[in-house]
Amino acid sequence: MINAIGREIPENIAGIKNIKPYSGPFAYTPAGRLTGPTIILNKPRSEKVLKSIEQAIDATGLKDGMTISFHHHFRNGDYVLNMVVAAIARKGIRDLTLAPSSLNNINEEIIPYIEQGVITAIETSGARGKLGKLLTNGKMKKTTIIRSHGGRARAIECGELHIDVAFLGAPACDTYGNMNGVEGKSACGSLGYAMVDAAYADKVVAITDHLVPYPLYPVSIPQTQVDYIVPVEAIGDPKGIASGALRISKDPRELLIAQYATTAIEYSGYFNQDYSIQLGSGGASLAAAQFLKEKMKQQGITASFGLGGVTAPFIEMLDEGLIKAIYDVQDFDIPSIQSMKKNANHQEMSASFYANPHNRGPIVNQLDVVILSATEVDVDFNVNVITDSNGVIMGAVGGHQDTAAGAALSIVVAPLLRGRLPMVIDQVHTVCTPGETVDIIVTERGVAVNPRRKDLRDNLREANIPLMDIEELRDIAYEFAGKPDPILVSDEVAAAVEYRDGTLIDVIRKPL
């Protein structure tokens, strides 16, 4: 089958039912009803606190062939996923589907358990390092499924991704299961990606290194969604969970990209009083936040809300009154965690509230401007954020698809070259975000506006930035680095890349 962006989608993919090719960002209309967890009885004074992860595994009734989930708010400081999978392996349980919100380098410790057959399928937003190579090389028994953050929330809520047991790291938890992420030695801030798991999994286990007397407050995930609690010595390494305030880039190329991006926003027609914005955590995005802050002060503009993964520049803007509110699905640094704890205008939100396209209104639909990064882009404005120049999985889709579709103005920032590799090319290896939802590509050499957005092109003529056709950027990149050879792949599908609505936008084939 050929989907709407010209990608070939096999009619049959091992482990995937009801294959639907991507047909447009809003073309697929869902049907049916939301699913839900099992109904249980909890008697008064029942004890939820258990002595070990092994005891919790027994209590949940985890068996061969089930699906387990985790959140990735601890990033490269995460201990929970690794310790739980190790405990499951010791119990002799096999053939599990692992469905975390994302995977990081620290999770490479589970590779031996994949090789042993403890884990035979993975559904996630992305992977890196050795795990990414393993998934790309088709080492799983079943095809890996890649979903965006909004797509994952959608899949859980509609029952496509049924979670039997969610093991959720809780920076703070009381003796009846109320959790938050702003207290304790492993504080990570928002628990936005864990909220959907807690609400829909059949069994939920809170694993904490900060068990407190009842009641805990504030509450991010309530006691009504938690079956068992396991206190452990440490659920993560604070140094890997959150950094100090992320620093603004001093790289001249990133600063130039940031300047072009902020100028594009200024002249786009969306830089008005009470506009809304999401920025990433990359160097150019952080620099853009600083430049926007200056422009907002100069023009007397304040934003209605900031959105997404939160960093220190957003917190500074909130504290200075330049942003009225922040909606937070994850935190990247200590100032963001502290802000959510103390500032009532800094609101925690779930991944579904953030980006699920099949609910009654994700907040991305109210977004005016988003700045996104890219591994590579092509002349049709399609964006790849998951595979590298060798076709190997090395990143995550995250909220890229979701915000590009929801925002009135989506800007993708990327250097024209990385090393000796062009980043603007004829055709990206893997399409994660379709070009029809991408409005502007910003590089250090020039800015390209999607031909679909003649209004933007007209507006940006007044800006002092180098406007080019996307083909001109590609030609400059090829002039410097040469046209890259195509990546040779087999017919074997290692991973299926879903669009946020559950249709298939692309597949990742095993490299030759």
Q: What is the pLDDT along the chain (512 residues), one digit of tens a residue?
A: 999 999 999 999 988 888 999 999 999 999 999 999 999 999 998 999 999 999 999 999 999 999 999 999 999 999 999 999 999 999 999 999 999 999 999 999 999 999 999 999 999 999 999 999 999 998 899 999 999 999 999 999 999 999 999 999 999 999 999 999 999 999 999 999 999 999 999 999 999 999 999 999 999 999 999 999 999 999 999 999 987 766 677 889 999 999 999 999 999 999 999 999 998 777 788 889 899 999 999 999 999 999 988 999 999 999 999 999 999 999 999 999 999 999 999 999 999 999 999 999 999 999 999 999 999 999 999 999 999 999 999 999 999 999 999 999 999 999 999 988 999 999 999 999 999 999 999 999 999 999 999 999 999 999 999 999 999 999 999 999 999 999 999 999 999 999 999 999 999 999 99
Can you name the CATH fold of 252-489? Glutaconate Coenzyme A-transferase (3.40.1080)
In contact, 408 and 146? CB cutoff 8 Å? no
Gap between the Cα atoms of 385 and 413, Å rounded: 12
Give, for 173, the enclosing helix (H) or strand (E): strand 172-174
- Coil vs helix vs strand at 172: strand
pLDDT value, residue 247: 67
Which tokens belong to 351? 């991944």
Which of 108, 113, 100 is closest to 149 using CA atoms?
100
CATH superfamily of 53-241: Glutaconate Coenzyme A-transferase (3.40.1080.10)
pLDDT of residue 283: 78
What number of other Cβ atoms are within 10 A of residue 117's Cβ? 13
Cite the DSSP H helix spans in 16-110.
53-60, 80-90
Would you state the structure tokens that stand for residue 9, as one six-digit string? 């989608």
DSSP code of 483? P
Identify the bridge partners of residue 49 per DSSP, sorted by sequence position.
229
Phi-psi region of 315 (alpha: psi -120 to 50; beta: other; left: phi over 0): alpha
CB count within 10 Å of CB 134 equals 22
Order of strands, edge to edge, in the sheet holding 369-372? 346-348, 326-331, 305-310, 276-278, 369-372, 409-413, 440-442, 447-449, 467-468
Q: Is 486 exposed, middle or buried (0-12, 13-18, 19+ CB in 10 A)?
A: exposed
Q: What is the pLDDT of residue 308?
A: 84
Please report, in angstroms and rounded to a whole number, the separation of the first and last CA atoms in the chain: 23
Identify whether the C-beta of residue 460 lies closer than 8 Å to the C-beta of residue 104.
Answer: no
State how far Cα 181 lies from the chain centre.
Answer: 18
The C-alpha atoms of residue 55 and residue 69 are separated, in whole angstroms, by: 18
- Hey, is 236 helix, strand or coil? strand
Strand partners, 123: 145
Q: What is the pLDDT of residue 150?
A: 98
Task: Spell out the domain ranges in the chain.
Answer: 53-241, 252-489
Instruction: Tell me if 53-241 shares its fold with 252-489.
Output: yes
Beta bridge partners of 122: 98
The enclosing H or E element of 305 equals strand 305-310
Rounded to the nearest 10°, the torsion over CA 468, 469, 474, 479 is: -50
